[in-house]
């Protein structure tokens, strides 16, 4: 249900104008920033003002914090905004019924997404009130913890733990909440299986039809290893041809690899895509303790090379990137023109 006759969201024109003037800055990692607050199970559960209706432990369910610790999430968004981010990603990476089943919170998905968008909006408006610079809210749609293209059972290659329609319904509920919460864009990210992404795209346009407006869609895949392919086996070029029908505002890569290893794959995408190119790598690869050691200066120098070579239109950070990383990245790309888009 790809209906391009719907009116565009009001944010599209100013975003296009901004993209023509300079490289747009995306924010950084939510999860590693949450860890710095040292929150306990009681913090995740909250003060009871939101009835979880679940007996499951919640520590680690970062998306829940938009409801139970909204001040913490707003502060993280605000710090990224003040570091230079133009686009704030909502704290909703796992806010689908599929992912929240691990916590017994399937019933809370709509509330998680509405709250996630509202918290990001408050931080964006707070920063704008201080410096006069407009920020935009991207409703973050993660890949779920299931794949539609690959069997999880090596003894039954035909088995699938989830169907396209299961994903479509789950994403649809999430995206409706993100729209109702006030998101400006939809960001379908960390895509390891393009069939999952296609379900999210389909669900997005169904939600747009219901809302009567078409939000810009950002699409970001993840290359999982040195093969240069997604988990489901696609090269960056094949990935682009699989999602180009959605006419995305941007297409790109995030997570998995640090900037150095990401560069050839971003260059490949930049060579074939007619959309803006977005890159937000991890702060290097995790160490033996799962922590990220790459400094803001190191990450920024590598992302700055993307900009110097004319490969990117939107840049930011994924796992391990802090407000300091985003500030350094913004500085590193400030003097370079955005990638030119071929007709």
323 has pLDDT over 90: yes
275 vs 301: CA distance, rounded Å: 24
Q: How many residues are recorded in the chain?
A: 343
Contact 326, 25 (CB under 8 A): yes
The model's pLDDT over 283-305, given as tens digits with 9 standing for 90+, comes to 998 888 888 999 999 999 999 99
Partners of 191 in the β-ladder: 221
Contact 57, 42 (CB under 8 A): no
Could you tell me which of 136, 81, 141 has the C-alpha nearest to residue 109?
141
Q: Can you give the pLDDT at residue 3?
A: 77
**Residue in the block written with tokens 């939600």:** 207
Q: Can you give the pLDDT at residue 167?
A: 97
The model's pLDDT over 53-65, given as tens digits with 9 standing for 90+, comes to 999 999 999 999 9
Helix (H, G, I), strand (E, B) or coil at 191: strand
Could you tell me which of 202, 207, 198, 184 has the C-alpha nearest to residue 239?
198
111 vs 106: CA distance, rounded Å: 10
Provide the phi-psi class of 130: left if phi over 0, else alpha when psi is between -120 and 50, else beta. Answer: alpha
51 vs 206: CA distance, rounded Å: 30
Confidence band for 1, pLDDT divided at 50, 70 and 90: low
86 has pLDDT over 80: yes
Residues 6 or more apart in contact with residue 53 via CB below 8 angstroms: 104, 107, 108
333 has pLDDT over 60: yes
Distances (CA, A) of 137 to 144, 186, 236, 318, 332: 21, 9, 26, 16, 23
Could you tell me which of 173, 248, 242, 181 has the C-alpha nearest to residue 206?
173
Can you read off the two tokens belonging to residue 144? 């779920």
Say whether pTM exceeds 0.85. Answer: yes
The model's pLDDT over 237-287, given as tens digits with 9 standing for 90+, comes to 999 999 999 999 999 999 977 899 999 999 999 999 999 999 999 999 888
79 vs 27: CA distance, rounded Å: 9
Can you read off the two tokens belonging to residue 50? 């939101």
Q: Can you give the pLDDT at residue 343?
A: 54
Provide the phi-psi class of 175: left if phi over 0, else alpha when psi is between -120 and 50, else beta. Answer: alpha
50 has pLDDT over 80: yes
């Amino acid at each position: 249900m790809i209906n391009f006759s719907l009116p565009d969201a009001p944010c599209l024109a100013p975003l296009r104008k901004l993209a023509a003037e300079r490289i747009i800055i995306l924010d950084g990692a939510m999860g590693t920033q949450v860890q710095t607050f040292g929150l306990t199970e009681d913090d995740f559960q909250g003060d009871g003002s939101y009835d979880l209706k679940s007996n499951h432990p919640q520590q680690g369910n970062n998306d829940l914090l938009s409801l139970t610790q909204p001040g913490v999430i707003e502060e993280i968004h605000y710090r990224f905004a003040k570091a230079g981010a133009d686009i704030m990603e909502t704290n909703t990476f796992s806010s689908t019924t599929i992912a929240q089943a691990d916590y017994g919170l399937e019933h809370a998905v709509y509330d998680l997404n509405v709250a996630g968008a509202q918290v990001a909006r408050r931080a964006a408006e707070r920063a704008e009130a201080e410096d006069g610079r407009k920020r935009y809210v991207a409703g973050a749609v993660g890949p779920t913890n299931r794949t539609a293209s690959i069997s999880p059972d090596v003894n039954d290659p035909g088995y699938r733990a989830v169907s396209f329609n299961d994903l479509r319904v789950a994403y649809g509920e999430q995206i409706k909440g993100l729209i109702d919460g006030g998101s400006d864009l939809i960001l379908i990210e960390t895509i390891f299986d393009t069939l999952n992404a296609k379900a999210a795209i389909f669900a997005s346009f169904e939600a747009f039809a219901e809302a009567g407006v078409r939000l810009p869609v950002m699409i970001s895949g993840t290359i999982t290893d040195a093969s240069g392919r997604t988990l489901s086996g696609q090269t960056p070029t094949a990935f682009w041809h699989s999602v180009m029908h959605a006419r995305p505002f941007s297409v790109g890569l995030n997570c998995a690899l640090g900037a150095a290893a990401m560069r050839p794959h971003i260059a490949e995408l930049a060579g074939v895509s007619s959309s803006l190119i977005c890159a937000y790598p991890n702060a290097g690869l995790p160490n033996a303790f799962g922590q990220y050691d790459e400094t803001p200066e190191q990450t920024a120098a590598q992302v700055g090379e993307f900009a110097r070579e004319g490969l990117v239109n939107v840049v930011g950070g994924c796992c391990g990137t802090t407000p300091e990383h985003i500030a350094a990245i913004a500085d590193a790309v400030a003097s370079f023109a955005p990638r030119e888009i071929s007709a």
